Amino acid sequence: MSITRYPRPANLPPSLANQDDLQRQREIILQHVLNTSLLFAGSAFLFWLYRISWQVNQPLVWLAGGLLVLLLAVTFIRRLPFGLRAFFVLTLIGAVGVADLLRGGLSSSGPLYLLTFAIVGGAFFGTQRGIITLVAAGIAQILIGWLMVNQHVPIPAFWVMANSGLINSWLYSIFSTALCGIILAGSVFQFTESLIATLKDTRLMARNLDSERAQLEVRVQLRTNELARKASLLEAARQVASEIAAQTDIEPLLNTTVNVVRDRFDFYHAGIFMPDENGEYAVLRAATGDAGRQMLSAGHRLRIGQVGIVGYVMSKGEPRITGNVDEDPAHYVNPVLPETRSEMAVPMKLGDRGIGVLDVQSTRRNAFSSDDVDVLTTIADQISSALEKARLLEQYQKIVEDLQETARQNTRPAWQKHLRETRKRYAYRYRQMKVEPIPADQFALDPILPKQPQVVAQPNQSYSTIQVPIKLRDQVIG
């Protein structure tokens, strides 16, 4: 590492890595003050050596040289504690101010050094300690003034005081003003730059926060709309399931399903396809609107695995969404549905076996989302279950009807066989609150038993009889 790297103010020591911004700025200001002081002190020391006699002022030379070496060490050894380095440079500035005030009185640059001592002390150690340094500078100036006024210390000779006619006086004044001005201006400049940078960062942070807040509001609104749409889809799915569950016949079930799906989800078209007996074509079984009636009348069908999104879904058994039908070669262009811009098809399954496809279309591009897929897949599963229930119900009803027909066909012959084998006739009458058998010679049974109740007039009698058939398993046996 180059030795010139150490005194650079921006190269902060590792000990300040975790310090706050204010402390880092103080370290930068301190290094500026040390660099400036070292530059001016070194130049002044060399100039002073050139002007004085070494042998006469040897102790003073050793003292000044020692202070210069200490200043050099404090400037380059930045691992030293900040407080120690700041205290050293403040002590040096204050000592120079007091010495100059004793040397030249009010005409010297001592008050300027003491003012610099007070201001830089506040910059290094904060407001409270800055007030202490300011009070110390004031006390030093008051004390020196009181001592000179009361002649406890000698008043500077006229030739020592600033003389506008001497070049040395001007050089010393310019030197002192430049040193104090650079120190003060550097401190103020550093704090000002830090403040400006902080303000810029604050404004940038505020803008970023406003931007993030706006983006967050947009995301929250989008999420709210998404949740509202999902809730609407689930409610629509619940209503669809409720209306589907009320149907027990297959054809009404299919027609109810497509109309409810189209109306509840505001689709352009909805249709249900089921495979033919050979599994070669997906045949339209139910569809909505006039276009649906035209396609049903024409026997609309699509070859499975070859034509249309419906054919693809029927063969693959997985949902498919087309956000823009103009860009999907699998889309079947249906002339009776010219306004279709997006299409979605979901399989209808019983277990792993596909039994059909629910196809919906919209007039908007990219109208379908993953939520639509989930909800319509649920509806397709409900349709599949309802179709299976309806099929089983029809099957059971057919079995019951066959059993009933078989029972009807066996009941009458069995009864007749029983009568023939027993050679017994069953006849009873209700009279005087009693049920009593009718003698065989008083009973005559019509050769043809009536299937419905009827009134029969008795010849040569003043009364009529009512004949009501007795049925067993829908067969007349008496």
Query: For 112-165, how does the pLDDT look when each residue is reduced to its tens digit (9 = 90+)?
Result: 888 888 888 877 787 788 788 888 888 888 888 888 888 887 776 655 555 555
pLDDT of residue 114: 81
More confidently predicted of 19 and 100: 100
Cα torsion for 33, 35, 36, 37, to the nearest 10°? 80
As given in the structure block, the two tokens for residue 112 are 């300027």
Yes or no: say if 104 and 161 are a contact pair by the CB < 8 Å rule.
yes
pTM beyond 0.75: the answer is no
Residue 342: pLDDT band (50, 70, 90) is very high
Most confident of 199-213, 237-251, 330-344, 397-411: 330-344
pLDDT of residue 270: 92
Yes or no: say if 272 and 253 are a contact pair by the CB < 8 Å rule.
no
Mean pLDDT computed over every residue of the chain: 77
